[in-house]
Amino acid sequence: MLVVMNRDCSANQIDRVCEAIRDLGFEPHPMPGAERTVVCITGNKGVVPIERFAGLEGILEIIRVSKPYKLVSKETRSCDTVVAFGDRHIGGGETCLIAGPCSVETEDATMRIAEQLRNLGVGFFRAGAFKPRTSPYDFQGLGHAGLEILAKVKNELGLRIVTEVLDAAELSAVAQVADILQVGARNMHNTPLLKQLGGVEQPVLLKRGMAATLDEFFMAAEYIMVHGNYNVIFCERGIRTVSTHSRFTLDVAAVAAIKQLSHLPVLVDPSHAAGISNMVEPLGYAGMAAGADGLIVEVHDNPSAAWCDGLQALHPSKLQEFIRNMNALRELLASTRCSS
């Protein structure tokens, strides 16, 4: 259920609506929009007795949300959520690029790659200190030592850090360094972790589980939002299908569907979808053409020596060309949207 407030309503009137919702035993979520504030109601099992709002001022209308996910839905917030980091934005028409190696490696290698990325104008550096690996015999990440290296990248190069939190037990340590907390595909269903992420101030990059439906993906985001963190960024990273020609199948239709159903930004990860570097660029372009707000791409300056996922890593020199083409594609897409 949504209580849509009048355009010129006062803060007091919004507070009184929130109080009435709490009195009913439900949770109010005021969502300020460009035009007006909407107060979303969660926690109700059945119909909300709307007659309880009858005497309250400042209300334009009360509408039912038809979707099981409420805070994620465009029904609740018609204007797109833009996650702002100073002069960089995720969503709102800007193309965001997050790049870096799969995992944090030695301090030298990590700083060297990060510096090359910064020189290419990349604002967000990705690298995992805690790695979710299929095999217990594979490199599991440097852990806390990796976080220290990421802190150096942040402090000395001014890059914003995107890194994965695998476990709620490590959340406070990871949150000390991360500007964006990544939830990996294998953790999309980890509801205790999602609940904890509702209480942090950093935005969450939520990767789609490799066999998750869109409804499940949305509900995972809803967990984070209903616990208080409204800055969720979706990431389509490919799903399991019958195809064997790529590591996963990039679901570009999901990108288009997310843009239609939700106000949250969505990024595409062409690296994990492709699994091989020569398919990363075409999949990235496909994701952008489907409406993505940007990409997260694995980059390494010596892919054959990478500690993790080297096969799919782009060389920085390739990234430069990729960025050029992406900018051209963005302009083309913007012009087709203007003329349609």
Q: Using CB under 6 A, which residues numbered 74 to 103 contact ligand PEP?
A: 102
Asked whether position 113 contacts ligand PEP by CB under 6 A, the answer is no
Put the strands of the sheet holding 27-32 in their side by side order: 27-32, 37-42, 2-5, 59-63
Contacts of 182 (CB under 8 A, 6+ apart): 126, 128, 162, 163, 164, 165, 204, 205, 207, 235
Tokens linked to 245: 């020609």
Name the minimum Å distance from CB 272 to Mn ion.
6
Tokens linked to 291: 């409406």
Q: Which is nearer to ligand PEP, 38 or 127 (CB)?
A: 127
Select the span of 19-27, 68-76, 183-191, 256-264 touching ligand PEP (CB under 6 A): 183-191
Asked whether position 297 contacts ligand PEP by CB under 6 A, the answer is no
Q: Using CB under 5 A, which residues numbered 301 to 320 contact Mn ion?
A: 309
Name the minimum Å distance from CB 62 to ligand PEP.
40
Tokens linked to 327: 């900018």
Residue 105, contacted partner among Mn ion, ligand PEP, none, CB below 5-8 A by kind = none
Asked whether position 252 contacts ligand PEP by CB under 6 A, the answer is no
Quick check: 226 and 194 in contact, CB under 8 A? no
Upper half-sphere CA count for residue 306 (Cβ side, 13 Å): 24
* Beta strand segments in the chain, E: 2-5, 27-32, 37-42, 59-63, 83-85, 88-90, 96-100, 124-126, 160-164, 180-183, 204-207, 232-236, 266-268, 294-298
Longest pairwise C-alpha distance within the chain? 68
Residue 222, contacted partner among ligand PEP, Mn ion, none, CB below 5-8 A by kind = none
Name the minimum Å distance from CB 169 to Mn ion.
22
Residue 306, contacted partner among Mn ion, ligand PEP, none, CB below 5-8 A by kind = none
Name the minimum Å distance from CB 188 to ligand PEP.
8
Among residues 70, 247, 259, 272, the one that binds ligand PEP under rule CB under 6 A: 272
Contacts of 187 (CB under 8 A, 6+ apart): 132, 166, 193
Asked whether position 128 contacts ligand PEP by CB under 6 A, the answer is yes
Name the minimum Å distance from CB 308 to Mn ion.
6
Contacts of 42 (CB under 8 A, 6+ apart): 26, 27, 29, 70, 71, 226
Name the minimum Å distance from CB 157 to ligand PEP.
20
Asked whether position 207 contacts ligand PEP by CB under 6 A, the answer is yes
Let me know the angle formed at the C-alpha of 86 by 85 and 89, rounded to the nearest 5 degrees: 50
Say how far apart CA 67 and CA 73 lie, in whole Å. Answer: 7
Asked whether position 237 contacts ligand PEP by CB under 6 A, the answer is yes
Residue 101, contacted partner among Mn ion, ligand PEP, none, CB below 5-8 A by kind = none
Say how far apart CA 60 and CA 117 lie, in whole Å. Answer: 49
Q: Which is nearer to ligand PEP, 2 or 255 (CB)?
A: 255
Name the minimum Å distance from CB 162 to ligand PEP.
9
Asked whether position 132 contacts ligand PEP by CB under 6 A, the answer is yes
Among residues 185, 219, 254, 290, the one that binds ligand PEP under rule CB under 6 A: 185
Name the minimum Å distance from CB 176 to Mn ion.
23
Asked whether position 269 contacts Mn ion by CB under 5 A, the answer is no
**298 phi, psi to nearest 5 deg:** -85, 130
Name the minimum Å distance from CB 311 to ligand PEP.
13
Q: Which is nearer to ligand PEP, 9 or 254 (CB)?
A: 254
Q: Using CB under 5 A, which residues numbered 85 to 144 contact Mn ion?
A: 102
Residue ranges binding Mn ion (CB under 5 A) = 102, 309
